[in-house]
Structure 1
Amino acid sequence: MAAFDPGAGGTLKSTTLEGIAMEAALILQNAERAAQAASPEAFPNNIAVSFFTGDNVIQVQAALPLSADFSNDGKVTFSAVDYLGTPFTTDGDLKATTLPQAVLELFQRLQNTEKSQPDVGDKVQLSYATETNIATINAEFPITFSVATDGTISVSANPYLA
C-alpha cells in the first residue's frame, strides 16, 4: 500500500495513492458529465473511468489539456489546464490546486512509484505531447467490489504498491 495523506480540509479523502488517484479520476469524470449536461457542445469528453467486475480492475483513460512552461532555473514544467473550473480544495500531500492538475499529479505519482517497484508491473502509462498540448493517461489497476447488507455496492482501489 502506498500511503497518501489527503489532509483534513481537501476535496479528496482516500488515504492510499491508488485510492486517491481513482477518487480524483471519478470526480473529474462526474464534473465533466455535469458540465456536458448543462452545455453539451462546450465541454469535451477528456476522461473515461471504467470498472470491470470480472477482472476486478479499473481502467482510466484521459487526454487532458496541458500547458508547458519554464521555471526560473530553466526546468520545463507541465500542468493540466483547468478546463472545467470545478470547485476543488487541496490539502495534505497533494500539491495541485485544480482537479485536472490533481488527476495528472496523482497518476504521475503512481507511475513514479511503479518505476521504483518494477515487480508490480506497468499499470500506469503517461505521455506528454507538447506539440498538441495533451497529457495522456492510460491506467489499469486492481480494485475490490463489496456488497453491504443493504445492497449498496462499494468499489475500493486494491493497493498494489508498497
Structure 2
Amino acid sequence: MAAITPGTGGTIKSAMLEAHLLEIIAFGKQQESTPARNPAPQKNYIQGYTLTDTLFRCNLSIPVNRVTNENGESVYTTPDYLSGVTFTPGSNGTFKSGNFAAYLIEVVLYAQELERDSTKNPSGADRINGNFDINPNVFSGSVELPISPGVTSDGKPTFTAISYLLT
C-alpha cells in the first residue's frame, strides 16, 4: 500500500496514494462542473472521467506557467483557474500545494515517481503519466487506477481505488 499523510484539516482525506489521487480528481471535476466556480466559457481541464472494467480513467490538461528563476532553473506554477473554490492542503501532510489544480499535479508527479521505482511498483504498472508542455503552457496527463465498485446500505454506488504501489 502506498501510504501518504493527508494534511490535518485538509480538503482531501484519503491516506492511501491511489485513493488520494482519485479523490482530488473527483473534487476537481466537481468544482469544474459547478457553474458559479467555472463561468462561461466552460473550462474542463479534467477530461475523460470514466469508469469501465473496474478501472477509473481520466485525462488531464491543466494550465501552468513557466518562469526561469535566478539560478536559470525552470519553475512551473499552476494558476487557480476556477473562482471561489474552497480548498486547503491542510498542515503537515505529504502534499503542500495551495490550490486544487497545483495539488493534483503534485499528487500525479509523486505517483509517477513511485511508478518509476521497481521496489515501489513491483508489478511494473504504468498507469499514471504526466508532462509539462511549455508551448501551450499545460500539464497533460492520464490516470488509470484499478477500482473496486460497491453499493452502500442505502443504495448509493461507490468506487474505491485499489492500491498497487508501495511506499
- Give the TM-score taking structure 1 as reference length: 0.90
How far 1:107 sits from its partner (Å)?
0.8
Could you tell me which residue of structure 2 aligns to residue 115 of structure 1? 116
Give the aligned residue type for 1:111: Q
Q: Deviations over 1:117-156 (max 9, x none)?
A: 3533110111211011011011111011112232222111
Give the aligned residue type for 2:87: F
Unaligned runs of 5+ in 1: none
Could you tell me which residue of structure 1 aligns to residue 5 of structure 2? 5
Could you tell me which residue of structure 1 aligns to residue 26 of structure 2? 26
Greater Cα offset, 61-70 or 30-39: 30-39
How far 1:73 sits from its partner (Å)?
3.4
- Quick check: 1:64–1:81 contact (8 Å CA) kept in 2? no
Give the aligned residue type for 2:45: N
Could you tell me which residue of structure 1 aligns to residue 65 of structure 2? 67
Q: Percent identity?
A: 25
Give the aligned residue type for 2:102: Q
Matched, 1:140 2:139: no
Greater Cα offset, 71-80 or 22-31: 71-80
Root mean square deviation, CA, Å: 1.8
- Give the TM-score taking structure 2 as reference length: 0.87
What number of residue pairs does the alignment pair up?
159
Q: Deviations over 1:71-105 (max 9, x none)?
A: 44332122222101412111211111100001111
Q: Deviations over 1:20-44 (max 9, x none)?
A: 11111111111011037873x2331
Could you tell me which residue of structure 2 aligns to residue 78 of structure 1? 76
Could you tell me which residue of structure 1 aligns to residue 55 of structure 2? 57
Could you tell me which residue of structure 1 aligns to residue 42 of structure 2? 43
Counterpart CA distance in 2 for 1:37 and 1:8 is: 25
Give the aligned residue type for 1:84: L
How far 1:8 sits from its partner (Å)?
2.0
Q: Which has the higher helix share?
A: 1
Give the aligned residue type for 2:103: A
Give the aligned residue type for 1:65: P
